Homo-oligomer: A and B are copies of this chain.
Amino acid sequence: MNLADLIRRPPQWRRSGGPMSDVVFSSRVRLARNLAGMPFLTRCTETQLSEVAGLLRGALMRLSMGGETLYVDLAATDAVDRQLLVERHLISKQLAETDIPRGVAIAGDETVAVMVNEEDHLRVQVLRGGLRLDACYGEIRRLDEMLEGQLSFAFSSRFGYLTACPTNVGTGLRVSVMMHLPALRLTGKLETALRAARDMHLAVRGLYGEGTEALGDMFQLSNQVTLGRSEEQIVADFRDEVVPVFIDYERQARKALLEHRRMALHDKVHRALAVLRSARLISSEEALQLLSYVRLGLSLEILDGLGVEDINELGLVVQPAHLQKLYDKRMSSAERAEARAALLRQRLGGQGAVD
């Protein structure tokens, strides 16, 4: 497997739906770990950074993850490849943009990605479609134990695992879900819901995590504090107390739309699909927004004849790096807008699909 293979197929987890996938797009658990006896990244010399990267690459390639493991040395990739990995949620924007020795180990099925030299020496993430935090957590426990067998991590008996940012000290664990909240936005209740999330000490982020904007009505909600609580507690609270509240908010909003603004909702959904099937130029932002309405329309059975898994896949392939890899050339923003529109017409059976 190499990087070029990635573009040929979407990750299976993204197509498979999963529990509560009408609202919960994906679940993610990640661990932050640092090597004992080695400074945090910001205090490493160039030599030490390379040493960490080399050491961890070796350890990760010996790890058994989902399918064959691909290790990508990010210093040896170009910007489009790194952007491709960001779009697939396999690395963070931050890791894409620094220029220190760094890399990522990716499981063949893309349910696991381990970033090396991001903010901590190691950032292990497990991803699944729908609300599947237990599965994510089980897998990350397994990976953590296997890594502990090979490596020695910075740990304090008083604080727990030590991390570069104090908010991660303790378990080093962060639990998050990517939620699709179009109805909350359409009913004007999004800000209230997100304020409630912040009051519950959750971090609310955009489609690509910290410092990114919400695209296609996707919002990442995650726990913010890991110190002083057991890992099991964090996962259980998040799964049983936190996420259901927001699922309920969104479902109530969808019900309200169906009951009180039925025609306006149908209008939005049908127009969205019509524009996706007929545009000749379309930006990534607009495409994601319209796909969001189509996804909502499928979930509420306003539309049929389309699979939500195909819509989820389109949400990935319309993005800039994916488009350029698919067409195998560098494209300007204007060229991408044209290629994106052609791709959408082709995939959605639109008018003029074979222009």
Contact of A267 (CB < 8 Å), options: B263, B264, B267, B341: B341
- CB-contacts of A258-305 with B (<8 A): 263-264, 266-267, 270-271, 273-275, 277-282
Q: Is B338 a contact of A270 with CB atoms below 8 Å?
A: no
Q: How far is the CA of A352 from the CA of B264 in the complex (A)?
A: 15
In the complex, whether A152 has a CB less than 8 A from a CB of chain B is no
Q: Is A263 a contact of B280 with CB atoms below 8 Å?
A: yes
Q: Choose among A263, A277, A278 the residue with the greatest number of B CB atoms under 10 Å from its CB.
A: A278
> Please, how many residues of chain A have a CB less than 8 angstroms from a CB on the other chain?
19
For A333, list chain B residues within 8 Å (CB).
none
- Nearest first, the 4 A-B pairs at minimum CB distance are A274-B278, A267-B280, A274-B274, A267-B281
Q: How far is the CA of A248 from the CA of B266 in the complex (A)?
A: 42
In the complex, whether A351 has a CB less than 8 A from a CB of chain B is yes
Q: How far is the CA of A264 from the CA of B274 in the complex (A)?
A: 17
Q: How far is the CA of A279 from the CA of B264 in the complex (A)?
A: 9
For A270, list chain B residues within 8 Å (CB).
278-280, 351-352
Q: How far is the CA of A267 from the CA of B351 in the complex (A)?
A: 12
Looking at the assembled complex, report how far the CB atom of A301 sits from the nearest CB atom of chain B, in whole angstroms. Answer: 14
Contact of A280 (CB < 8 Å), options: B266, B279, B352: B266
Looking at the assembled complex, report how far the CB atom of A5 sits from the nearest CB atom of chain B, in whole angstroms. Answer: 32
Contact of A278 (CB < 8 Å), options: B264, B273, B352: B273
A-B residue pairs in contact (CB < 8 Å), sample of 19: A263-B280, A263-B281, A263-B338, A264-B280, A264-B281, A266-B280, A267-B279, A267-B280, A267-B281, A267-B282, A267-B341, A270-B278, A270-B280, A270-B352, A271-B280, A273-B278, A274-B274, A274-B278, A274-B351
Looking at the assembled complex, report how far the CB atom of A323 sits from the nearest CB atom of chain B, in whole angstroms. Answer: 16
Question: Which residue on B lies nearest to A261, using beta carbons?
Answer: B281
Looking at the assembled complex, report how far the CB atom of A147 sits from the nearest CB atom of chain B, in whole angstroms. Answer: 51
For A280, list chain B residues within 8 Å (CB).
263-264, 266-267, 270-271
For A279, list chain B residues within 8 Å (CB).
267, 270-271, 274
Looking at the assembled complex, report how far the CB atom of A293 sits from the nearest CB atom of chain B, in whole angstroms. Answer: 12
Q: How far is the CA of A263 from the CA of B281 in the complex (A)?
A: 7
